[in-house]
Amino acid sequence: VCAAVLLKDMKLMDVKLGQLPSWVAMRDFTPGGIVGAMRRGYDRYYNKYINVKKGGLAGLSMVLAGYVVVSYIWSYSHI
């Protein structure tokens, strides 16, 4: 038996292209909703790459790579 999932509860990767405008319209774009989404993203990243039993350099190298990209964008804003 396959249970139907509401469009509101679907992850972005599970949304079909035709459903995308409706899915985006259901998102919470209030300041609290945006902060909540950023918090969930940080928690997901932290638990996947930082808070592990046997850690590696993957999580920290992604943060460093992100910092390099942002620094490049800020330094060369004319591009």
Rounded (10°) CA dihedral 24, 27, 33, 38 = -50
Model pLDDT for residues 23-76, shown as the tens digit of each residue = 888 888 999 999 999 999 999 988 887 887 776 787 788 889 999 999 998 888
Spell out the alpha helix ranges (H) of 31-57: 31-45
CA distance 46 to 58: 11
Identify whether the C-beta of residue 35 lies closer than 8 Å to the C-beta of residue 22: no
Confidence bin at 2 (pLDDT 50/70/90)? very low
CA distance 42 to 60: 13
Identify whether the C-beta of residue 49 lies closer than 8 Å to the C-beta of residue 59: yes
pTM above 0.85, yes or no: no
